[in-house]
A and B are shown apart, each in its own frame.
Chain A
């Protein structure tokens, strides 16, 4: 920042103001203290942002690892090597509980009955525990009114609101 010697602006327009309120064409010398305070605040802000960014990267890495384990678990339990599996994270309560849904048969995503598994707990040997789940009819969103054939924790949590449609897959899937 320039610290030239020039002080108040020449001309009478602002002369009625006290000196400390008058505009200047250049900053007065001896503003080192203010600059130091500003610089300290900037460094502090940078440190906080750095910690926040690093924390977020580490958090995201853990989330990625967890989702990889979730996908592996879903494929292992269902025996279905699908690519398009939807993952719904618990963004409301920020827990590690994920719900993964994928087709039970061949076809584009959502065009077949969906098998959904609720994954919780830590990752052990690249897998997570699937303690419950439910099914969804083709083309239906994951809402309580569309879920049927709940098993495991999904029964206790009363997540299903639809009776099993005739001929639909409904076997309980657990493992992990």
Chain B
């Protein structure tokens, strides 16, 4: 990520060739997204989950412009690789483009367009959004606690046939805050609920990106480049937003916490006011205390959307060492518990058993599975799960100690989220996004490189059908 440099740093305006190249990259991003969305809208694709008819109008547009090929593996992988190539190109050019005065406006326009296009299309690559809606309908329409029952209990409900087969008997693993946020979706009907979930994801994404911008500026990085690094990321756009995943809501609360803390820092990293027109010492102290309390509450909110979000809390506490952070976190927890307890009882707060259940799952895309294959084993065994947990604990302990001794807590949180994704035996594309917004504003730039490396490996792993498609 390009740093804005000091006050006297000279910024050379980019040449025409650079701007043209950046424009071409942006166009490729848009075309690749359009291709996935339009081909997905045609239907009958092995990559698009069955869903209520949402994008008939897109199908009509596709037909009008002569686009009626369904989204197959080959087409999708070519689009994904083009997207990734153009995204990498944009990031390489970023340092030079950022000197252009229009860079900020163009980056906002690009990221906004990609988000709107992908959200206008069908639900991509995952049935998770239908699980969210099923849990909401269970609670609101059927009087069932989604923390005790799986969607199998609402077999007659119209959402049932869209829920992924693996999740039919599984109670929700999401936090009570997300479950409460999703409950109003049940009142919108089937299609309305899907659109509602998409709007929720879109709004959370806009918030995440705005906060990423703010954090990048507070830390002396180019906010436009940070925005593109997150908002135009291929896995973020196609998988995260395309699937309307609630991970985006979790990252929103995570970034809110980071923004509240880093806005106190100078770009050099030292704590203190960023503006000369700041209030006096006592009101500054109060303001900082309030910010810390809100940051603590925001991290708890992230954790109560999806348990992974709570990872930031220990590092924030170790770094800030402020009572107000703890009070804020405790107040946030009590508030959500007070609202959710009458609805879900204690089950809503039992995130540990949900985490344990999910930790036992195994996906073919996970790095431990790939290493097991490399070692000639058919897959991961229970002993491997234990080894992976030990490795994760060792990494977290090392990061905690370093944070205590002055290491950037945002970086430590990002490393932990990345370590969770890498050591998890159940890895999905959107899990590699958890660390991304933190990585673009982290002081340790190795985190950003590592996050991109993990995402790159994930994408490479998807490419097998490109070399040898199975003829059905």
A residues near B (Cβ < 8 Å) are 1-2, 4, 6, 9, 13, 23-28, 38-39, 42, 45-46, 48-57, 59-62, 64-65, 67-68, 71-72, 83, 91-94
Contacts and interface: CB of A to CB of B under 8 A. Distances in A.
Contacts of B386: none
Given A2-B443, A27-B405, A27-B406, A56 B461 contact: yes
A44 to B, nearest CB: 12
A111 to B, nearest CB: 19
Nearest to B444: A1
B471 A56 contact: no
Interface string B355-377: 00000000000010111011011
A6 B271 CA distance: 11
A49 B379 CA distance: 15
A23 B405 contact: yes
Contacts of B468: 60-62, 64-65, 68
Point out which of B460, B463, B469, B470 has the most chain A C-beta atoms below 10 A from its C-beta. Answer: B470
Nearest to A70: B470
B457 interface: yes
B156 interface: no
Contacts of B387: none
A94 B376 CA distance: 9
A4 B471 contact: no
A126 B370 CA distance: 27
A45 B457 CA distance: 12
Given A54-B460, A56-B374, A57-B460, A49 B367 contact: yes
Given A23-B404, A49-B454, 17 more contacts: A1-B444, A2-B268, A2-B408, A2-B443, A13-B321, A23-B321, A28-B406, A48-B371, A49-B422, A52-B367, A54-B460, A56-B370, A56-B461, A57-B463, A57-B464, A60-B464, A93-B378
Contacts of B378: 91-94
A51 B370 CA distance: 9
Contacts, number: 106
Contacts of B371: 48-49, 52
8 contacts: A1-B407, A24-B405, A27-B406, A42-B450, A45-B422, A56-B461, A62-B468, A94-B378
Contacts of B406: 23-28
A49 B457 contact: yes
Given A9-B321, A60-B464, A42 B446 contact: yes
Nearest to B407: A27
Given A1-B407, A27-B407, A83 B446 contact: no
B83 to A, nearest CB: 19
A4 B268 contact: yes
A9 B322 CA distance: 12
Contacts of B470: 64, 67-68, 71
Contacts of A26: 269-270, 406
Contacts of B461: 53, 56-57
A139 B340 CA distance: 45
B64 interface: no
Nearest to B462: A57
Contact of B370 (A46, A52, A83): A52
B275 interface: no
A53 B464 contact: no
Nearest to B463: A57
A124 to B, nearest CB: 17
A6 B454 CA distance: 34
A55 B453 CA distance: 17
Nearest to B403: A23
B472 interface: yes
B409 to A, nearest CB: 11
A94 B407 CA distance: 45
A49 B454 CA distance: 9
Contacts of A9: 321
Contacts of A83: 472
Nearest to A95: B378
B212 interface: no
B5 to A, nearest CB: 16
B321 to A, nearest CB: 6
Interface in B377-414: 377-379, 402, 404-408, 411
A61 B464 contact: yes
A150 to B, nearest CB: 26
Nearest to B450: A42
Contacts of A28: 405-406
Contacts of B279: none
A55 B374 contact: yes
